[in-house]
Structure 1
Amino acid sequence: MNQKIELLFTLDEGYLRPLKVALLSIHANNPKQAFRIWLVHERISQESLVSLQAFSEHLGFEFREMKVDGSNWENAPTVARYPKEMYFRLLAGEILPEEITKVLYLDPDILVINSLNELWNIDLTNHLLAAATHIGLLDLTTPLNKVRLDLDHEYYNSGIMLLNLAQAREKIKWEDISQVLQKHANYLLLPDQDILNYLYGKYALTIPEEKWNYDARMYTKYLAKSLNKHDIHWVLRNTAILHFCGKPKPWSKKHDNRFTALYLNYQQRTDIIEESIRKKL
């Protein structure tokens, strides 16, 4: 049997519907793989948790929720699109049980369209985490982020991260994060992602974004970078995680790109399953 994959999500109530869509896509494209879902939150209602647990178990997933005290983050920079819960993933090593030594963190605004096994089985012995960079066709943002945060390494996207929790428990300390928040809060554009890169990016292993963290806005960029090799057929065969970065989100009527219909199909299937579960509860 395959080893159970541990998946981590940290979010608020507003992202529960996208989370269910993501979970359905994971199930559909990893049908023989066992998963355990870890939901870390501060104030999701009991009714919503019961609904999410029922949905997860319908898919055959083990479900665990962990409520945390978010008071440490009260003064941390947040915006509507990046709530306080985004910081919880940084302290996954402290929050999750000691026996969990590795976890795959996923943002909820994703579709998984191929197997996650290869990503899960990456050797992280000498690294704190594995993550992708989002490099533009002319790569203008990476140099700016390096200067802004005084980095001597790549700038990693924190939306998909394979975390070595054994190393996280040694290296990631609230005191260090708190110090960065106090000194540099005004310079943090993507707050938790900036902190991750500033403090811990030097411990990261780079994984290919085209496969593991495909920015769904950037089809034309990927196609051009690959000299027309990474067309839609290549994506559907080789990309594992489509990440709907930025705005508008694919559940919004304003979203209309090459991957919108695919997302809406999974959303429609999710709603059908939800209605079936509600009738049984």
Structure 2
Amino acid sequence: MKKLLFEKYCHFQYNVLAELEKTIDDTYFSENMTRVCAFMSEILHDIFIYHIVHSNKYKVKELEVVYFKDTRHQNSLCPAFKKNNIPIVLLSSEYYIPYVGVLLQSLKEYACMDYGYDVIVLHKGINNELQDQLLRVTADVNNISIRFFNAKAVVDDSEFYVSSQFYAVEAYYRILTPWILKSYDKAIVMDSDLVINGDISELYNQNIDDKCIAAVKDIVYMEFLNGSQPGVLEYTKEKMKMKNPYNYVNTGVMLMNLKRIREKCTGTELVNFCRKNHFNIQEQDGLNAFFEGEIKFLDLKWNYYVEVNPGIQDAICGWAPRENKVQYMSMNPYGGYRPYIIHYASQPKPWNDPNVKYSEFWWRYAAKTEFYPLINFRMAQGSVNGALVFGRLSLARRVADKLLPKGSKRREALKKIMPRGSKQFEFLKKMYHKFTI
């Protein structure tokens, strides 16, 4: 505004507001009600501008409004410890915080005092109270640092494809790790549905100078490829365009060569690749497709995929490649060839069903955290990722299993009519998730 017009604007606003203020008794007003004059000034603003526009005395230009929702400054992340710093990137929503707490409890029990464990939780809005609760898990040790980074400030996640109610948009944040951790050369990136069963400094010290990622081959995906889930082999070759589908890895535990990834691509390239391809297993498929040939294969002990349901157990026994099956069956969390990371990668999770294989490891750590009562309450309520279900499976899934029992001719016929990845399958999946939420 020109100065003279601005003075008229102020004269109009403040005279009215001054008179209004005299008539109001705010003795019992709430905090929001005390802003009554501010609310009125917005109305007066619109009245004045409307009058100016329609007086046709001034040139008026209209612009879009820009609203900044979160204006808190986030400092660039630098190593938390000067020596032997091991960065560990986790992903979480507010709902998942208790389960992250269990993971951190297991980390604390196996942490070596020779190293500093630099934990960074990527999220899109975890409140301060929950952050403080998580910080208290490791408050009694001085070689574990926990920091929170709002990844939504870096990328708009509204266009990311979420393929299932059991997946979350936060899972995509792992692909941003090289550019969020600009001052780091490599980092361990992990899911939250796992517990640590050994010191992970050995994992961090793996040499991956000539690769972008180090991860464990996904034995469950391999049995999908062998026919337990029709259409997966074709999907992996045609949709993901992998030259060797059996090199598919589980990204629930990764050692990322951040420096090499930044040299190979930009964050925009990787994000756009995952956005435009609506992969079945979201960013895991994306990372496998994008970095094929740039992945080092780790020993199974760094990501032991637990047989959390009979379907996985039967598939591994009947469909997994022989060599991988032998290695898997020789794994024993209680001794000998034991896993250093136990991953409850499928459904149900141990916090939903204590009958899950090796759930005793998870619950032993859970009982030592202040989240224990909440975890038990959720289990009693039958809550999965915030959605109520009936028992171990959702109502829709139970009905489907009743009408189409596993192994039945009807179920096998439906698989042939609607192979995984087909348009019919995707439509049916969308309808299923609509009715399970």
> What does 1:84-233 correspond to in 2, within 5 Å?
84-96=169-181, 98-136=182-220, 139-141=223-225, 144=233, 146-147=236-237, 148-153=239-244, 154-181=247-274, 183-185=276-278, 188-209=279-300, 211-217=301-307, 221=316, 225-226=326-327, 229-233=330-334
Which 4+ runs in 1 deviate beyond 6 A? 272-275
CA positional deviation for 1:256: 1.3
Partner of 2:147: 64
CA positional deviation for 1:273: 9.2
Letter in 1 for 2:326: K
- Count of residues in Structure 1 that have an aligned counterpart in Structure 2: 269
Distance 1:4 1:138, change over 3 A: closer
CA distance in 2 between partners of 1:156 and 1:93 (Å): 19
**Alignment RMSD, CA only?**
2.9
Identity value in percent = 20
CA positional deviation for 1:178: 4.4
Structure (1 or 2) with the larger CA radius of gyration: 2
**2:332 and 2:338 in contact (8 A); partners too:** no
Calculate the TM-score normalised by the size of structure 1: 0.84
SS of 2:331 mapped into structure 1:
coil
Unaligned runs of 5+ in 2: 1-81, 227-231, 318-323, 375-437
CA positional deviation for 1:258: 3.0
User: C-alpha offsets along residues 155-203 of structure 1, whole Å, 9 cap, x if unaligned?
Assistant: 1111000011111222343432344345422xx1111111111112321
CA positional deviation for 1:25: 0.6
SS of 1:36 mapped into structure 2:
strand
Specify which of 152, 158, 165 is matched with residue 80 of structure 1: 165
Unaligned runs of 5+ in 1: 276-281
Higher relative contact order (CA 8 A, sep 6+): 1
CA positional deviation for 1:62: 1.2
Larger strand share, 1 or 2? 1
Letter in 1 for 2:358: F
Distance 1:58 1:197, change over 3 A: same
Partner of 1:36: 118
CA positional deviation for 1:232: 4.8
Partner of 1:278: none
Distance 1:119 1:274, change over 3 A: farther
The answer on 1:242 being equivalent to 2:342 is: yes
